[in-house]
Amino acid sequence: MSIRVAVIGVGYLGKNHARVLSEIEGVELVGVVDLDVERAEETAGRHGCRAFTDYREVLPLVDALSIVTPTVTHHGIALECLRAGKDLFIEKPITRTVEEAEELLSEAEGSGRLIQVGHIERFNPAVLCTEGIISAPRFIESERLSPFLGRGTDVDVTLDLMIHDIDIILSLCPSRIVEVRAVGARVLTEKLDVAKAWIETEDGTKALITASRISPERRRVLRVFQDDGYILADLQSREVLRHSRSPDGGVRKETIRTEEREPLKEELLEFAACVKNGRRPRVTAHEGMEALKVALEINRVINENEHREAG
């Protein structure tokens, strides 16, 4: 039995959601929704489904929806879809505020509906490989740099890019965060375009997170240091380099080449399976909300520093 799905928002990322969902066995892409009628019709024509400009019109026709719209709209759209009894995939960040996320979480739990949040890097083969060889991380460093593309500028870089690494770090080190220090700057937009955060957890793990959307280069790197060595994961090439102590007291280097898989496809395959079988997704609404909390706390610290310096 197929599950019937629709994609709300078919901009740059939403078009890829439509493509992938149309290719998954056991999934019927019923329609795509976009305020831009030409864009909706073009995407619908490419995948043999119907085009809509109002998501409410597609609700009676589907079992589940993928929400790939600007963050500011996530809460309102998702709440109405949940109340219509639909399971949801919501692109990150889950919402603008923690209060909005809490309301969605409460609605989903009360109605028995599923929410999966689109933290795609959790499905990156390099991240999955790194998870499998980590024991007790002591220090984690991440860099996520991107040239200015003009996308995602409705939110700060902390919610656009950094939140990916926040989510990864929270998954690797679930201990409670006890300290956050951060700096950032607005350069090409009115939102934060570059940010750096230092995080410490209750168990003593420390993390340094850097994100920029105005870099001359594209870079996605995760480094994890633990007692027996360290792991360098290149999230672009999806290659993992493991350094460990050798019996003679030197350093043993091991290059791990991961299996070539498309993270978005793996992510949406899981969503389809969770909808069909009632399984818990890898990234739940609760985990999406926890990543949002940390990103917003980093914003608060940066803004507080700016006000202190201005005063």
Nearest-angstrom CA–CA distance, 197 and 85: 39
Which token pair is 142?
A: 């991440």
Rounded average pLDDT over 204-232: 95
DSSP H or E run through 130: helix 125-133
Residue 115 lies in a domain: yes
- Amino acid 261 reads R
Residue 158's pLDDT is: 96
Residue 37 lies in a domain: yes
Residue 289 lies in a domain: no
Confidence band (pLDDT; 50, 70, 90) for 140? very high
Residue 178 lies in a domain: yes
Q: Is the previous residue joined to 93 through a cis bond, with omega within 30 degrees of 0?
A: yes
Count structural domains, the chain: 2
State whether 81 and 166 are in the same domain: no
| 47-71 tens-digit pLDDT | 999 999 999 999 999 999 999 999 9
Residue 152's pLDDT is: 66
Residue 150's pLDDT is: 78
Confidence band (pLDDT; 50, 70, 90) for 250? confident
Nearest-angstrom CA–CA distance, 307 and 55: 41
Rounded average pLDDT over 244-264: 88
| 86-115 tens-digit pLDDT | 999 999 999 999 999 999 999 999 999 999
Q: Across the strands, what pairs with 8?
A: 33, 67
State whether 238 and 268 are in the same domain: no
State whether 12 and 132 are in the same domain: no
State whether 95 and 177 are in the same domain: no
State whether 186 and 137 are in the same domain: yes
State whether 100 and 191 are in the same domain: no
Measured between alpha carbons, how far apart are the two ends of the chain, in Å?
A: 63
Helix axes 12-23 and 263-277, enclosed angle (nearest 10): 60
Q: Across the chain, what does the average pLDDT equal?
A: 95
Rounded average pLDDT over 65-82: 97
Residue 290 lies in a domain: no
State whether 302 and 254 are in the same domain: yes
Nearest-angstrom CA–CA distance, 245 and 154: 46
Nearest-angstrom CA–CA distance, 224 and 14: 32
State whether 113 and 130 are in the same domain: no
Rounded average pLDDT over 247-269: 91
State whether 111 and 179 are in the same domain: no
Residue 202 lies in a domain: yes
Residue 288 lies in a domain: no
- What is the CATH number for 21? 3.40.50.720
Residue with the two structure tokens 């990156």: 124
Confidence band (pLDDT; 50, 70, 90) for 311? low
Nearest-angstrom CA–CA distance, 135 and 230: 11
State whether 132 and 254 are in the same domain: yes
Rounded average pLDDT over 156-165: 96
DSSP SS3 for 17: helix
Residue 109's pLDDT is: 96
State whether 94 and 160 are in the same domain: no
Helix axes 98-111 and 71-83, enclosed angle (nearest 10): 20
The domain of 205 spans 121-260+295-310
State whether 115 and 197 are in the same domain: no
- What is the CATH number for 203? 3.30.360.10
Residue 193 lies in a domain: yes
